[in-house]
């Protein structure tokens, strides 16, 4: 895979490349340990199963179609002995331990790939379940004064074709190398062969300040473009990524096509791993327009808080605090309906009939003595539904149980207005019809006038009878 990294000076392009090499070096160390321990178990298992002949040769297929041929490549008996060596290698150079470092051989990646082919053949033919060995890659770069132990200098003339398979190349300031520069005449075979770099596991990272400085052949082959833009001299950059190289990454049309946009903070632990000329010369800048926008936003926010807290009775305060906004009619209604001395406890079980009677009379007189608020709209008998009072009328009566009516097998209860009451058990009505003396007592109506009327009517009947 060919990667392309562009950035202006001070944006951290070499820093990002060094961080990538640091991660690759750590992966190599991890994979070296895994392969060393895993190889012991695999070779012992192969010997136990008497399958050693699979390690003596391998079939390599070449060509296409009818001209496709297979060739048997015989392997030496010590071909995989490099896995029997435990490699003591650091990630970062340390003068105290560099003299005992045992680096892995350049052919490590290629032979691991062949061993994985043998593993696939064993799993297919012998029904084994061996896992693949992990790759360990040789690293080549020209980053100045790099302290990563596994990194090696670029080969002569940058001829990557002569390096071990699976190598990883990081080419800093690629425009300064003649064959990679856009000013090169024609296409060098080394550049042209980049079209088949994946056949043997090679990967490249070309670093430059401006994409147009690098040969267009390389720009067309790259499948990942990273562009860094420093943010006002601070130790962070805006990271933009595309799947194709953008000739003008800072143009609006390129920014509009960006596939991944993120903020990349400079990893401080990488500063000492290479030599950079911009680490101590970067000047931090404060954008005046951005500061003005922040100040204006803060001022508007504080002003809004001041207006909200200035008057707790204002509609703006009610809206901000989530309280419902009351209209004038609702306020008048709340004033007229509020009677603190008329509240009753809902859970009281017994009430004095005389006290309740006096209270009902007081409520009725108070409701009758209230001033009548004339409605703005007039009542029309031809259109009674169009009339709406400007206030909610004060209730002067309570809905009470009046009696029951049973027709055939259906019984219903009714109030004093004759409206059907829902929710009453039909058994209550049936019991009341069968035994009228079990009628519930009426606590809310005055019976004095009714009783006197009944007595008068009884006496009149007696006199008439006499």
Task: Name residue 152's beta-bridge partners.
Answer: 140
What is the rounded CA–CA span in Å between residue 11 and residue 282?
Answer: 9
The set of residues, in sequence order, having a beta carbon less than 8 Å from that of 125 and lying 6+ positions away, is: none
Closest CA to 206 of 214, 217, 198, 194: 214
Residue with the bigger pLDDT between 356 and 49: it is 49
What is the rounded CA–CA span in Å between residue 438 and residue 454?
Answer: 21
Asked if 283 contacts 290 with a C-beta cutoff of 8 angstroms, the reply is no
Closest CA to 178 of 224, 214, 212: 214
The DSSP secondary structure of 403-444, one letter per residue, reads EEEEETTEEEEEETTSPEEPS--HHHHHHHHH-GGGPPP-SS
**The pLDDT of residue 137:** 93
Residue with tokens 């012991």: 40
CA angle 269, 25, 151 (to 5 degrees): 95
Q: Could you tell me the residue ranges of all domains in the chain? A: 2-273, 401-466
Question: 272: pLDDT confidence band, cut at 50, 70 and 90?
Answer: confident
Closest CA to 150 of 108, 111, 180: 108
pLDDT at 302 over 70: yes
What is the rounded CA–CA span in Å between residue 8 and residue 130?
Answer: 48
**The pLDDT of residue 33:** 94
**The pLDDT of residue 319:** 54
Q: In the structure encoding, which two tokens stand for residue 445, read together?
A: 């109506």
pLDDT at 283 over 70: no
pLDDT at 457 over 50: no
Asked if 7 contacts 227 with a C-beta cutoff of 8 angstroms, the reply is yes
Q: Which CATH number fits domain 2-273: 3.30.70.790, 3.40.50.300, 1.10.287.1120, 3.40.1190.20?
A: 3.40.50.300
**Phi, psi dihedrals of residue 178, rounded to the nearest 5°:** -55, -50
pLDDT, tens digit, for every residue of 133-185?
999 999 999 998 888 988 899 998 899 999 999 999 999 999 999 999 988 88
Question: 360: pLDDT confidence band, cut at 50, 70 and 90?
Answer: low
Question: 35: pLDDT confidence band, cut at 50, 70 and 90?
Answer: very high
pLDDT at 462 over 90: no
What is the rounded CA–CA span in Å between residue 385 and residue 377?
Answer: 12
Sign of the alpha-carbon dihedral angle for 385, 386, 387, 392: positive
- Residue 331: which region, alpha, beta or left (left: phi > 0; alpha: psi -120 to 50)? alpha
Q: Rounded to whole angstroms, what are the CA distances from 352 to 71, 356, 445?
A: 114, 6, 13
């Amino acid at each position: 895979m060919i990667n392309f990294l562009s950035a202006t000076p001070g944006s951290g392009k070499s820093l990002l490349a060094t961080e990538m090499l640091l991660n690759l070096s750590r992966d190599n160390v991890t994979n070296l340990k895994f392969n060393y321990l895993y190889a012991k178990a695999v070779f012992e298992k192969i010997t136990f199963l008497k399958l050693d002949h699979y390690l003596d040769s391998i079939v390599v297929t070449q060509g296409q179609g009818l001209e496709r041929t297979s060739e048997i490549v015989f392997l030496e008996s010590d071909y995989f002995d490099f896995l029997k060596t435990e490699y003591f290698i650091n990630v970062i150079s340390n003068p105290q331990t560099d003299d005992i470092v045992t680096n892995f051989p350049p052919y490590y990646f290629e032979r691991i790939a062949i061993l994985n082919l043998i593993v696939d053949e064993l799993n297919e033919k012998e029904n084994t379940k061996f896992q693949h060995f992990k790759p360990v890659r040789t690293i080549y770069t020209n980053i100045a004064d790099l302290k990563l132990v596994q990194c090696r200098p670029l080969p002569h003339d940058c001829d990557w074709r002569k390096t071990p398979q699976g190598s990883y190349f990081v080419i800093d300031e690629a425009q300064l190398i003649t064959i990679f520069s856009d000013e090169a005449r024609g296409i060098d075979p080394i550049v042209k062969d980049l079209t088949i770099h994946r056949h043997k596991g090679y990967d490249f990272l070309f670093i430059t300040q401006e994409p147009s400085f690098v040969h267009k052949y390389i720009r067309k082959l790259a499948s990942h473009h990273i562009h860094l833009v420093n943010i006002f001299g601070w130790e962070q950059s805006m990271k933009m990524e595309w799947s194709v190289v953008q000739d003008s990454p800072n143009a609006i049309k390129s920014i509009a096509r960006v596939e991944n946009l993120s903020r990349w903070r400079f990893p401080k632990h990488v500063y000492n791993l290479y030599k950079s000329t911009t680490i101590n010369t970067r000047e931090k800048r404060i954008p005046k327009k951005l500061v003005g926008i922040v100040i204006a936003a803060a001022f508007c926010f504080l002003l809004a808080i001041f207006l909200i807290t200035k008057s707790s009775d204002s509609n703006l305060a009610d809206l901000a605090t989530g309280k419902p906004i009351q209209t004038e009619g609702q306020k008048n209604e709340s004033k007229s309906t509020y009677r603190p001395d008329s509240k009753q406890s809902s859970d009281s079980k017994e009430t004095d009939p005389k006290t309740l009677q006096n209270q009902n009379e007081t409520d009725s007189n108070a409701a009758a003595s209230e001033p009548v608020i004339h409605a703005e709209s007039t009542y029309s008998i031809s259109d009674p539904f169009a009339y709406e009072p400007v206030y909610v009328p004060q209730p002067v009566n309570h809905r009470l149980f009046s009696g029951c009516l049973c027709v055939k097998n259906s019984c219903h209860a009714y109030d004093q207005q004759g409206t059907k009451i829902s929710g009453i058990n039909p058994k209550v009505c049936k019991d009341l019809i069968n035994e009228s003396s079990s009628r519930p007592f009426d606590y809310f109506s005055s019976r004095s006038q009714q009783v006197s009327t009944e007595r008068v009517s009884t006496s009149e009947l007696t006199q008439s009878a006499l």
